[in-house]
């Protein structure tokens, strides 16, 4: 079934997915870009002119994926679901030729999720539709449609991102316990980092906080050098997209506005950070040092951000409480007047060892592990 390509509608509704716990960071970031976000569980809803999904993919640092809303309708039974799917206007994302893949989520709905693929195939005149894998990890390659059933409501969206947005393109090597770029960017946002103050990561590993901090400081859009699913949509306007990218590129500064310093005890990790930074087009001051004896490299105030080792993930095990105690002591001794943002496992003993009783503590997840983000002024 070949669908005619219609003109692009003037308004778009977009859902930007946040990493778990980072909805407030994504909301703040989207608001700062003038996108008038509405925070909901799992992300933010945005509404705006045609091309909003491109802008969101290009500029949002914390979003892990951007979905274009295609429609919502009541689906109390399979018949209504099939009719609703058949009535959707899909021509802006689908040329009717390739077979779309479906990602289905059903929460307390009368219609079971398992009924959706057959209903969609019937609605769109196909012999079958494919099933999409876990979207947190994978690219979506062809057209992926997300169908969400909640109670009697059905919402259908198209993926516009393809590879998850933490894949900016610069990090081809990761350390032993890598941190997603989107989580790093969200943590910097929650810590109030604006790119105009010094940033220090005493345990920088592959350098994610520092590279994200540098891009933020340079006002460099995170999606400038990667591809997106929307480039395969029928009617995709290459010239308009290139103009959008050129505007973003012209806005970015040649260098960060403040110093960024990274340290690690492991020389191999520093090599990885250096190569990642080079690929990202940023220069970082990186040095092999032990966080237990570190001095502030520049006068503060500024932000110290760190993701200390987790026994479970990097195998340090036994000495972790000692290391956390020493890190807390470094913050108090050398970084008085600075702010600190620490991503740590949700383990009372380790958090106590840091000795930051006044810290604000937020629940976040890092690669499936329950963590706390501690925001402190040591």
Residue 210 C-beta: closest distance to ligand SAM, Å: 8
Shortest CB 172 distance to ligand SAM, Å:
13
265 touches ligand SAM (CB under 6 A): yes
Residue (of 175, 173, 170, 174) closest to 309 by Cα position: 175
| 42 φ/ψ angles, rounded to the nearest 5 degrees | 95, -10
Among 23, 27, 264, 347, binds ligand SAM (CB under 6 A): 264
Site for ligand SAM (CB under 6 A): which residue of 130, 167, 226, 266? 266
**Cα gap 303→254, rounded to integer Å:** 22
Choose, by CB under 6 A, the member of 186, 195, 205, 223 that binds ligand SAM: 205
CB of 279 to ligand SAM, least distance (A): 14
Which three-class secondary structure state does DSSP give residue 217? Answer: helix
Tell the smallest beta-carbon distance from residue 347 to ligand SAM (Å).
14
- Cβ-based nearer residue to ligand SAM, 275 or 292: 292
Binding of residue 175 to ligand SAM (CB under 6 A): yes
Stretch that binds ligand SAM, among 1-9, 105-113, 151-159, 286-294 (CB under 6 A): 286-294
Peptide bond into 301 cis (omega under 30): yes
Tell whether residue 361 is a contact of ligand SAM (CB under 6 A).
no
The tokens for 258 are 């403040």
Instruction: Kindly state the smallest distance separating residue 230's Cβ from ligand SAM, in Å.
Output: 28
Contacts of residue 25, Cβ cutoff 8 Å, sequence gap at least 6 = 18, 62, 185, 186, 187, 189, 190
Q: Could you tell me the smallest distance in angstroms from the CB atom of residue 181 to ligand SAM?
A: 9
In whole angstroms, give the CA distance from residue 75 to residue 62: 32
Q: State the nearest-atom distance from the C-beta of 331 to ligand SAM, in Å.
A: 13
**Choices 177-185, 192-200, 241-249, 353-361 (CB under 6 A): range interacting with ligand SAM:** 177-185
Q: Taking the chain, what is the end-to-end CA distance rounded to the nearest angstrom?
A: 63
Nearer to ligand SAM, 43 or 256 (CB): 256
Selected from 45, 153, 225, 290, the binder of ligand SAM by CB under 6 A is 290
Single out the segment in contact with ligand SAM by CB under 6 A; choices: 2-10, 23-31, 125-133, 301-309. 301-309
152 versus 266: smaller Cβ distance to ligand SAM: 266
Token pair listed for 79: 């018949």
Distance, C-alpha 87 to centroid of its chain = 32
How far apart are CB 221 and ligand SAM at their closest, in Å? Answer: 21
Handedness of CA 307, 193, 300, 376 (dihedral sign): negative
Q: Closest approach of Cβ 300 to ligand SAM, in Å?
A: 19
Q: Which is nearer to ligand SAM, 84 or 198 (CB)?
A: 198
Q: In what order do the strands lie in the sheet with 303-306?
A: 285-288, 260-264, 199-201, 303-306, 339-345, 369-376, 360-366
The string of DSSP letters for 315-371 reads --GGGHHHHHHHHHHHHHHH-TTSEEEEEEES-HHHHHHHT-TT-EEEEEEETTEEE
Cα dihedral angle (70, 75, 77, 80), rounded to 10 degrees?
-60
Q: List the interface residues with ligand SAM, window 77-136 (CB under 6 A).
A: none
Binding site for ligand SAM (CB under 6 A): 175, 177-179, 202-206, 208-209, 263-266, 269, 290-292, 307-309, 314, 323
């Amino acid at each position: 079934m070949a669908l005619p390509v219609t003109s692009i509608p003037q308004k778009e509704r977009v859902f930007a997915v946040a990493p778990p716990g980072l909805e407030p960071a994504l909301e703040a970031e989207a608001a700062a870009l003038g996108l008038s976000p509405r925070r909901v569980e799992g992300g933010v809803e945005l509404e705006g002119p045609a091309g909003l999904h491109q802008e969101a993919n290009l500029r949002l640092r914390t979003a892990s994926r951007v979905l274009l809303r295609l429609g919502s309708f009541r689906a109390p039974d399979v018949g209504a679901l099939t009719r609703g799917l058949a009535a959707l206007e899909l021509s802006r994302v689908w040329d009717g030729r390739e077979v779309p893949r479906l990602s289905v989520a059903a929460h307390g709905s009368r219609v079971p999720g398992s009924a959706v693929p057959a209903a969609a195939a019937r609605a769109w005149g196909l012999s079958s539709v494919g099933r999409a894998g876990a979207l947190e990890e994978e690219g979506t390659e062809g057209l992926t449609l997300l169908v969400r059933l909640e109670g009697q409501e059905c919402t259908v969206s198209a993926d516009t991102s393809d590879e998850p947005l933490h894949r900016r393109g610069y990090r081809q090597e990761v350390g032993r316990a890598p941190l997603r770029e989107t989580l790093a960017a969200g943590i910097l946002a929650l810590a109030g980092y604006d790119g105009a103050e010094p940033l220090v990561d005493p345990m920088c590993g592959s350098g994610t906080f520092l590279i994200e901090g540098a891009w933020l400081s340079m006002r460099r859009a995170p999606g400038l050098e990667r591809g997106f699913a929307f480039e395969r949509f029928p009617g995709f306007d290459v010239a308009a997209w290139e103009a959008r990218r050129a505007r973003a590129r012209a806005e970015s500064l040649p260098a960060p506005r403040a110093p960024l310093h990274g340290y690690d005890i492991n020389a191999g990790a520093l090599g990885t950070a250096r190569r990642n930074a080079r690929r990202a087009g940023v220069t970082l001051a990186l040095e092999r040092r032990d966080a237990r004896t570190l001095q502030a490299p520049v006068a503060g105030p500024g932000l110290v951000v760190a993701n200390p080792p987790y026994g479970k993930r990097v195998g340090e095990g036994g000495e972790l409480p000692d290391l956390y105690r020493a890190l807390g002591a470094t913050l108090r001794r050398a970084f008085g007047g600075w702010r600190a943002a620490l991503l740590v496992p949700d383990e009372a003993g380790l958090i106590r060892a840091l000795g930051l009783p006044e810290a604000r503590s937020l629940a976040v997840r890092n690669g499936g592990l329950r963590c706390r983000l501690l925001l402190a002024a040591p």
